A and B are shown apart, each in its own frame.
Chain A
Amino acid sequence: GAVVSQHPSRVICKSGTSVKIECRSLDFQATTMFWYRQFPKQSLMLMATSNEGSKATYEQGVEKDKFLINHASLTLSTLTVTSAHPEDSSFYICSANKWDFTEAFFGQGTRLTVV
């Protein structure tokens, strides 16, 4: 079964609204989770590192005020796309590593479409 669960799998929203995506690690506690973005036929690009109990670390070029990350517990991280615009439409994927980094698991992904 899934080790990392991501919800929703698909969401359509209107421009200017906000969307929250949840990522849960089911089998282990994850002090760190990662959020990636993937454009069609391209590979995954890291957006930010979500740290339990502290602020997220964002990659260069990623707007932290637009992509709000909250890691409130050892099993849940959320990504909120605020004031969404059509250019935010993409496939968003979260991941979590086992503590010894022997395995890194990914959620099912969320297809966001902003209309």
Chain B
Amino acid sequence: EDQVTQSPEALRLQEGESSSLNCSYTVSGLRGLFWYRQDPGKGPEFLFTLYSAGEEKEKERLKATLTKKESFLHITAPKPEDSATYLCAVPLPGANNLFFGTGTRLTVIP
């Protein structure tokens, strides 16, 4: 069964305390793994798409990596404005919509 699982469900960090968020997937024929940031009451904001194991992408304090089974979103020296829910998603086989994980709620404390 196709699955996307994110952990932890919630994460509290002190400002400057680096950490990683995990997205595990069991989807055959991966056509891309998408990372989004979602603020309360807003739609998801696109961050990255990763396609193959070993691929890495960076944007400011965020770096996303991909293996054959999971993806990590590394947050380096986070700031309070990085507080949000981070979602990963994959297109299921034969479909063009995205199937989302349950997200990680990140809170960065000043």
Q: Using a CB–CB distance below 8 Å, which chain A residues touch chain B? A: 4, 6, 32, 34, 42-46, 49, 91, 93, 95, 97, 101-109, 111
Contact = CB atoms under 8 A, between A and B. Distances in A.
Contacts of A102: 32, 49
Contacts of B99: 46
Contacts of A4: 43
Given A43-B103, A104-B34, A105-B46, A95 B98 contact: yes
Interface of B: 31-32, 34, 36, 41-46, 49, 87, 89, 91, 96-103
B43 to A, nearest CB: 4
B96 A97 contact: yes
B98 A104 contact: yes
Given A43-B101, A108-B43, A111-B41, A103 B49 contact: yes
A105 B47 CA distance: 10
B36 A101 contact: no
Contacts of B89: 104
A6 B43 contact: yes
A35 to B, nearest CB: 9
B43 A109 contact: yes
Contacts of A44: 44, 87, 98, 100
